[in-house]
Amino acid sequence: MAVKSAEFSVSSTLQQERQVLNNVQGCPYILRCYGEETTTSKDGDMVYNVLLEYASGGTLAHLINNGGLQETHVKRYTRSLLIGLQHIHACGYVHCDIKPENILLVPSKNGDHNKFVAKIGDFGLAKRSELSKRHKFDPYLRGTSMYMAPESVTGDRVQEPPSDIWALGCVVLQMLTGKRAWETINSDDFMSRISDKYVLPKIPSDVSKEGREFLKGCFVKNPMLRLTAEMLLNLPFVQDLNEMDELLEDVPDDALKINFSFALYNGDDDDEDEFRPAPFSDASFSDDLRFTGDSQISYFSEDDEFVKVQVPEEDNQRESKRKKLFDDNVNCLGNVSSIPTGV
């Protein structure tokens, strides 16, 4: 398990991410969220933590840094990401920051330590789609510039499901070539070129016919004509792949049961000012954490993280601390001041 943490006073982005993860769970290609908890650092600061599936393979960015991937691997990862995006969009969300750094690699269940399953993570910039019944007006532009779709940086600055598809195309091209889609231009040139309806990312000639067809479906300047995740899944590039057989075994439902121990703001869409009980989980981690907070101005995501992620201690230490923390808190439901320190 991995723990993503931020000081509670500046954790609204992380709490929002947790809420989105709650609403998009159920897809094997989205990073699993096990719950949330609040602890106190050695300095007495309240810390908000989200408990996530540990991706021991790192990120897709690390894999691509070693050069372009074999097309067979690109197809497999692409299919996983398409299924994940199809689920996210069906749940009424736009991820807004699809890029290799936000795609995590989890070992496959077949025991091959060199084979990984790609899962979508980092929902800190995700937003409701305009088609969602719970959509609220959002004036902010989110994401990483080099992966943004034309409609996101020009005109009305629209960010909807087709924008995620454009970003996916950039990721697929990067997997095939080892370079970003707009690698050879600076940010100023990027803005002018992506605004030009005749300029598209260059697809190398050595990419297969199926790969070129797939990328052309992603790189349609008009978002209304861009292929959806469902349409792309029917293209030859990602057909005839039995990715589901490579997934980790599903965790039994009873293994994910969480006990309620104390209250914290849960970021519920129906009542944003309401405090609700937050689940206690079995994470165990050190006190000397480094934190960064939310930005109230920019929602752009480059290579810097809003929050820090760490891997917890060994299972036996985690279990003993979990039991002690739960015993100390079981009678303190709703009493934030009763949260023990030094966890």
Indicate if 83 and 173 belong to the same structural domain. Answer: yes
Q: For residue 190, how many other CB atoms are within 10 A of its CB?
A: 16
Indicate if 236 and 269 belong to the same structural domain. Answer: no
Residue range(s) defining the domain that contains residue 299: 2-54+251-338
206 carries an active-site annotation: no
DSSP 339: P
Identify the domain boundary among 213, 241, 269. 241
- Among residues 43, 45, 97, 189, the one annotated as catalytic is 97
Q: Classify residue 160: in a domain, yes or no.
A: yes
Indicate if 96 and 123 belong to the same structural domain. Answer: yes
Indicate if 231 and 255 belong to the same structural domain. Answer: no
Q: Classify residue 323: in a domain, yes or no.
A: yes
Q: Classify residue 176: in a domain, yes or no.
A: yes
Indicate if 65 and 49 belong to the same structural domain. Answer: no
Q: How far apart are the C-alpha atoms of 172 and 176, rounded to whole Å? A: 6
pLDDT value of residue 240: 72
- 286 Cβ contact list (under 8 Å, min separation 6): 310, 313
Indicate if 123 and 233 belong to the same structural domain. Answer: yes
Please tell me the total count of domains within the chain: 2
Indicate if 232 and 94 belong to the same structural domain. Answer: yes
Cα 187-118-234 angle, rounded to 5 deg: 90
**Helix H or strand E encompassing 313:** none
CA 314 to chain centre: 25
Q: Classify residue 343: in a domain, yes or no.
A: no
CA 165 to chain centre: 15
SS3 of 292, please? Answer: coil
Place of tokens 């991820």: 95
Indicate if 114 and 31 belong to the same structural domain. Answer: no
Identify the domain boundary among 241, 274, 291. 241
Indicate if 93 and 200 belong to the same structural domain. Answer: yes
Q: Classify residue 223: in a domain, yes or no.
A: yes
* CA-derived radius of gyration, the chain: 21
pLDDT value of residue 184: 65
DSSP letters spanning 93-152: EE-S--SGGGEEEEE-TTS-TT-EEEEE---TT-EE-TTSTT-------EE-GGG--HHH
The CATH number given to whatever domain includes residue 227 is: 1.10.510.10
Indicate if 64 and 50 belong to the same structural domain. Answer: no
Q: Classify residue 93: in a domain, yes or no.
A: yes
pLDDT value of residue 259: 31
pLDDT value of residue 191: 77
Indicate if 43 and 140 belong to the same structural domain. Answer: no
Indicate if 164 and 276 belong to the same structural domain. Answer: no
Position 132, amino acid: S
Q: Which of 162, 129, 156 is nearest to 141 (CA)?
A: 156
Mean per-residue pLDDT pooled into runs of 10, the chain (343 residues): 94 95 96 96 94 95 90 95 98 97 90 79 93 55 87 83 98 95 76 80 94 97 96 94 50 33 32 31 28 32 47 47 41 33 32
DSSP 28: T
Identify the domain boundary among 241, 267, 292. 241
